[in-house]
C-alpha cells in the first residue's frame, strides 16, 4: 500500500443498474472509472454474502459466510455470455432509481437466473471452468448448496427444526437429500459460479487500474445459516442445537439498550483446539474476494458481549474473553502481512488496544464522532489521528455528513465545528469540509462514503442501527457521480498527496 491513499465506500447494491439493485454489470464498471478519474486507489464495499428479508436484507446477517449474493449477478453480463437474450428482459418491471425494492428485485432476478441456468445446462455441459470452481470450493459449496435446497423444500424452516436426520447431518439422510434435490443443488452451484466469475472480472478491472478492494467481514454468522448447521461445535449450542448465548453490544452511541444481534457466539475453546481452522478457511475465502478485509466489531475477537438467549435487549450481558493472541498469531502465520483493518469503534478497552498494537493493525477514526452533540471526542479529533489507521467522515451506520449536520448537531456543536475549521460552514458545504479534514490527516488511508462525495442528505442514509426495516436500500445514479463530484474528490486527493 502506498504511504498515503484514499478511496470511496460504496456498496454494490447502491450502484446504478436497470434491474433495481446494483450488480456487477456496466454500472459498477462506470463507478470504477469514476474512481480512476478522481485519482482514488481504494474501493470499500459491504459484505457480498446472500441477504434475506428475514434479516431485513442486511448484508451483515446471512445464510452463509462463504457464499455470494445472487442478487449481484448482472443479467447484462449473462446476456453477453449467451445465457440470456434481450427478450428475456421484457417482463422485468421498471424499477426505481433511488431505492431497492428487494421483494420485486428478488422475484425478477429469480426468473432471469432460472432461465440462465437452464441455458447453461443445455449449452455448457462439461464446462471446465465450472467444474474447476466446484472442485476448488467444494469444502463450503457442497454443503451450502445442499442447505439451500433443503431449506427451500421445507419452506424456509430454520435448520434445527428440520427432520432429525437432516438436522443432525446423518450420513444416509444427507445422501438421500443430495439425490432428491440434485437439480436445485446444481442450480445453487451455478449461481455461485456466475457470482464468482463476474466479481473476479470486476475486481481484476479494479486491480489493473491500481484500485484495491476493501471487503467487510461480519464477526458473527447467523444461526439460521449453513455455517452453524455444518459446524455446530464451533458455536455455543445446547443439546437441541439452540443457542445458549447470543451476541450483541452494551448500550452505546447508537442505542441506550445496546444492540441485541441474536447471533450465536463462538465456542473459542473448541476453535483453539482445532487451531482455528474454520476461521482460517473463512479468512481465506474473504481474501479471495478482496485485497483487504475490515473485520466488523473487531473487539469481539478480544472480548465479546454475551447475552443469555431469550433476553429482550442487550443490557444484561457480560464480557467474555477470547484467546485473541493465539488466534491472531495463527492468522498471521497463515497470512503474513495480515491485510486486516480492525473496526475498533464503540467501547474499546486497553486489552483491545494492546492486541491492535501488538499485531500492528490499522484501526478506524470517524470524524462525525469528533464533533458529536455530546461533546468532542479526542480519540477521533483530526489532530489526534495516528498514521496507522483509516479515517472516515462517517460509516454505513452513521447518518450522511449533511444529514448529521442538519438533524443531529445542536447549535453548540455546530459552533465547535466552525471554531475548529476557522470559518463558518453550512449544510451546503459540510460534507466537503469534513472530506478536507479527513484528507489532511496523517492517516495512511482515508475512506469517504459515496453519500458524502455527492453531498447527499438523510434520505441517502444506508443503515439505522437497531431499526429493523427500511435499511440498505439507498442507491445513487450516474448523474450523482458527475464531473463536479469527481473534480472535488480529485482536487482534495491531489492537494493532500493521496493520488
pLDDT digits (tens, 9 = 90+) for 81-114: 999 999 999 999 999 999 999 999 999 999 999 9
**pLDDT at site 253:** 66
Task: Give per-residue burial for 197-229: e unless 16+ CB within 10 Å, then b.
Answer: bbbeebbebbeeeebbbbbbbbbbbbbbbbbbb
Residues 6+ apart with CB under 8 A from 171: none
**pLDDT at site 1:** 57
**pLDDT at site 254:** 65
What's the mean per-residue pLDDT of the chain? 95
Question: Are β-strands 318-321 and 303-308 bridged in parallel, bridged antiparallel, or unpaired?
Answer: antiparallel
CA distances from 125 to 129, 130, 138, 362, 496 (A): 11, 9, 19, 46, 53
Residues 6+ apart with CB under 8 A from 198: 24, 25, 72, 73, 74, 77
Mean pLDDT of 7-31: 98
Task: Give per-residue burial for 285-294: e unless 16+ CB within 10 Å, then b.
Answer: bbbebbbbbb
User: Is it the case that residue 374 has pLDDT exceeding 90?
Assistant: no
Number of domains in the chain: 1
pLDDT digits (tens, 9 = 90+) for 305-333: 999 998 989 998 999 999 999 999 999 99
- 387 against 239, higher pLDDT: 387
Res. 124 pLDDT band, cuts 50 70 90: confident
pLDDT digits (tens, 9 = 90+) for 430-475: 999 999 999 999 999 999 999 999 999 999 999 998 787 899 999 9
Q: Is the pTM of this model over 0.75?
A: yes
Residues 6+ apart with CB under 8 A from 159: 147, 150, 151, 166, 167, 224, 228, 229
**pLDDT at site 259:** 83
Indicate which CATH number applies to the domain containing 447: 3.20.20.80
**pLDDT at site 480:** 96
Of all residues in the chain, the percent with pLDDT exceeding 70 is 99
Active site residue ranges: 296, 343, 397
User: Backbone dihedral region of 266: left (phi > 0), alpha (psi from -120 to 50 degrees) or beta?
Assistant: beta
Report the C-alpha gap between 16 and 27 in whole angstroms: 5
pLDDT digits (tens, 9 = 90+) for 205-250: 999 999 999 999 999 999 999 999 999 999 999 988 999 999 988 8
**pLDDT at site 161:** 95
**pLDDT at site 152:** 96
- 211 against 482, higher pLDDT: 211
**pLDDT at site 5:** 98
Report the C-alpha gap between 332 and 276 in whole angstroms: 12
Report the C-alpha gap between 393 and 452 in whole angstroms: 8
Residue 381 lies in domain? 5-495
Of all residues in the chain, the percent with pLDDT exceeding 90 is 90
**pLDDT at site 330:** 97
User: Is it the case that residue 128 has pLDDT exceeding 70?
Assistant: yes
Asked if residue 169 lies in contact with residue 229, where contact means CB atoms within 8 angstroms, the answer is: yes
User: Is it the case that residue 199 has pLDDT exceeding 90?
Assistant: yes
Res. 126 pLDDT band, cuts 50 70 90: confident
Question: Are β-strands 259-264 and 245-249 bridged in parallel, bridged antiparallel, or unpaired?
Answer: antiparallel
Amino acid at each position: 500500500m502506498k504511504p498515503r491513499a484514499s478511496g470511496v465506500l460504496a456498496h454494490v447494491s447502491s450502484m446504478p443498474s436497470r434491474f433495481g439493485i446494483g450488480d456487477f454489470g456496466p454500472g459498477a464498471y462506470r463507478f470504477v472509472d469514476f474512481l480512476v478519474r478522481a485519482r482514488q486507489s481504494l474501493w470499500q464495499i459491504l459484505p457480498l454474502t446472500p441477504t434475506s428479508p428475514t434479516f431485513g436484507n442486511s448484508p451483515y446477517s446471512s445464510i452463509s459466510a462463504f457464499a455470494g449474493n445472487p442478487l449481484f449477478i448482472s443479467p447484462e453480463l449473462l446476456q453477453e455470455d449467451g445465457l440470456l437474450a434481450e427478450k428475456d428482459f421484457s417482463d422485468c418491471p421498471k424499477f426505481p432509481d433511488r431505492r431497492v425494492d428487494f421483494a420485486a428485485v428478488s422475484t425478477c432476478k429469480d426468473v432471469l437466473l432460472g432461465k440462465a441456468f437452464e441455458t447453461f445446462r443445455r449449452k455448457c455441459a462439461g464446462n471446465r471452468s465450472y467444474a474447476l470452481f466446484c472442485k476448488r470450493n467444494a469444502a463450503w459449496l457442497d454443503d451450502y448448496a445442499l442447505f439451500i435446497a433443503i431449506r427451500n423444500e421445507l419452506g424456509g424452516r430454520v435448520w434445527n427444526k428440520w427432520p432429525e436426520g437432516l438436522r443432525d447431518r446423518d450420513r444416509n439422510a444427507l445422501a438421500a437429500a443430495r439425490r432428491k434435490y440434485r437439480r436445485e443443488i446444481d442450480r445453487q452451484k451455478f449461481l455461485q459460479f456466475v457470482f464468482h466469475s463476474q466479481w473476479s472480472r470486476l475486481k481484476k478491472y479494479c486491480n489493473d487500474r491500481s484500485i484495491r478492494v476493501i471487503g467487510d467481514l461480519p464477526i458473527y454468522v447467523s444461526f439460521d445459516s449453513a455455517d452453524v448447521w455444518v459446524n455446530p461445535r464451533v458455536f455455543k449450542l445446547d443439546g437441541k442445537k439452540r443457542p445458549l448465548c447470543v451476541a450483541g453490544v452494551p448500550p452505546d452511541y447508537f442505542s441506550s439498550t445496546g444492540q441485541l444481534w441474536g447471533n450465536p457466539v463462538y465456542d473459542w475453546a473448541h476453535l483453539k483446539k482445532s487451531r482455528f481452522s474454520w476461521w482460517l478457511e473463512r479468512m481465506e475465502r474473504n481474501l479471495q474476494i478482496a485485497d483487504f478485509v475490515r473485520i466488523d466489531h473487531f473487539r469481539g475477537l478480544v472480548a465479546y458481549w454475551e447475552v443469555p438467549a431469550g433476553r429482550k435487549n442487550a443490557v444484561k450481558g457480560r464480557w467474555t474473553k477470547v484467546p485473541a493472541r493465539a488466534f491472531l498469531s495463527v492468522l498471521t502465520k497463515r497470512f503474513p502481512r495480515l491485510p486486516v483493518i480492525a473496526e475498533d469503534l464503540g467501547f474499546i478497552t486497553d486489552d483491545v488496544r494492546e492486541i491492535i498494537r501488538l499485531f500492528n493493525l490499522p484501526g478506524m477514526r470517524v470524524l462525525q464522532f469528533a464533533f458529536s452533540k455530546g461533546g468532542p471526542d479526542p480519540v477521533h479529533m483530526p489532530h489526534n489521528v495516528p498514521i496507522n489507521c483509516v479515517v472516515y467522515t462517517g460509516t454505513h451506520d452513521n447518518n450522511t455528513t449533511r444529514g448529521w449536520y442538519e438533524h443531529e448537531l445542536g447549535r453548540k456543536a455546530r459552533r465547535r465545528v466552525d471554531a475548529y475549521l476557522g470559518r463558518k460552514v453550512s449544510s451546503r458545504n459540510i460534507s466537503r469540509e469534513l472530506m478536507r479534514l479527513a484528507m489532511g490527516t496523517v492517516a495512511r488511508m482515508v475512506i469517504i462514503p459515496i453519500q458524502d462525495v455527492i453531498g447527499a442528505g438523510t434520505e441517502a442514509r444506508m443503515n439505522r442501527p437497531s431499526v429493523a426495516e427500511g435499511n440498505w436500500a439507498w442507491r445513487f445514479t450516474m448523474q450523482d457521480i458527475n464531473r463536479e463530484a469527481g473534480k472535488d474528490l480529485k482536487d482534495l486527493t491531489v492537494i493532500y498527496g493521496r493520488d
